[in-house]
Amino acid sequence: METNNEIQAYREAILKAMLDRKDPEDGYPLILEKDARELLAHLTDQELADGMLFNTPEEVADILMEI
């Protein structure tokens, strides 16, 4: 079972992956931090813990940004 610290680290890694996405043409971020945090807030700690075994933070960021 994942600890709260592991889940928080995973959540922060997802946030970083979202914020690292840049528009290839102009280099601007594809999402604002406020918006990224809002999307990420939709995932509960339990949902993140369940997904940690199967999805990298980058994969979760991709899924969230498709919404």
Per-residue confidence (pLDDT) for residue 10, from 0 to 100: 97
Per-residue confidence (pLDDT) for residue 8, from 0 to 100: 96
Residues 33 and 18: their CA atoms lie apart, in Å, by 8
Per-residue confidence (pLDDT) for residue 1, from 0 to 100: 65
Read off the tokens for 38: 């809002």
**Whole-prediction pTM:** 0.92
For the stretch 2-60, pLDDT in tens is 789 999 999 999 999 999 999 999 999 999 999 999 999 999 999 999 999 999 999 99
Rounded (10°) angle between helices 4-20 and 33-41 = 140
